[in-house]
Amino acid sequence: MSSLPLEGKRAVVTGASKGIGRSIAFAFAREGATLALVARGHDELEALAREIREAGGHAEAIPADVTNAEQVRRMADATHAALGGVDILVNCAGAAESHDFPRHPDELWHRMLAVNLTSVYYVCRAFVPGMITLPSARIINVASIAAKTGGRYIAAYTASKHGVLGLTRALASELVRYNITVNAICPGYVDTPMTEASIANIAARTGSTQEQARAALELTSPQKRLIAPDEVAAVALFLARDASYGITGQAINVDGGAVMY
C-alpha cells in the first residue's frame, strides 16, 4: 500500500498561484497527487510548478482566466492532454471587494459574481463530463463563511459565495450517482495577500492604521486571529482522500468558531 494517500490521483487547482490555492497545491503534491495548476499569472504559475517539481512533486502550469468560458475550455483540453484525466477538482480562484450598497457600482457586482461564482460553474462544466466516467472523483469548492451569513459592505461578495454554496449542494445531489462528492470549505479571514489588500482598503477608507485594520479583522474570530492558509489546505486534503467518501454536499467552516452552522 502506498504511503502517499493521493498517489496516482490527478488534481486541478484553480487560483493556485498564491494564498489558499498555493497551500492546497503544495499539500496535494506532498501527498502524491499530479497537479494541473491554474491561474491568470503565467510567471507566478510557472515558478510554483517549478518549485513543486524541485521538491519531488509533479505539476504542470496551465494559465487561464477562469471567468472566460473559452479559456476554461482550452485549459480543460490542455489539462486532459497533460494528465490524462482529473480525479480531484479544487475551485479556489476568487476575489474580495467591498463597497457600501447605496452607491454600489454595477461593474463590481458583475466582477464578483464572475470571479467567485461563474468561474466555478465554467470549470465544473468543463471537467464533470470526464469525471463521471471515473470510478469516483472529488470536487472541492473554496467558498467563505460569507456563504452562510451576511456582512456590511460586501453585498456582491456575499451573494457570490452564497451562490457557490448553492451550486455545491446542487451538484452534490446530481453527481452522487456517479460517486462524485462535492463539498465546500468556508474560511473566515485567512492570512493571504487577498486579506492584506482588504486590510489596506479598510485602513484607507476609515483612516485607521493597517495594524488597527488587521486587529479589527482578527476580532471577528472568537480565536482572535486570522486563519492560516495551511489550515484550509488541511481540510481540502481530507476531502480529497478516500476516507472522506461519505461526506458530500457539506460546507465546512474554518473560521475559529465565528459561524457555528
**Catalytic residue positions, numbered:** 157
Tell the burial category of 107 from Cβ atoms under 10 Å away from its Cβ (0-12, 13-18, 19+): exposed
Please choose, from the candidates 57, 2, 63, the residue with its C-alpha nearest in 3D space to the C-alpha of residue 28.
57
Q: Using CA of residue 219, residue 220, residue 221, residue 226, what is the dihedral sign?
A: negative
| Separation between Cα atoms, residue 146 and residue 162, nearest integer Å | 7
What is the Cβ-side half-sphere exposure of residue 163, based on CA atoms within 13 angstroms?
17
Give how far the C-alpha of residue 230 lies from the chain's centroid of Cα atoms, to the nearest Å.
Answer: 13
Classified as helix, coil or strand, 87 is coil
**Contact (Cβ atoms closer than 8 angstroms) between residue 21 and residue 49:** no
Q: Can you count the helices (H) and strands (E) in the chain?
A: 9, 7
DSSP state of 228: P
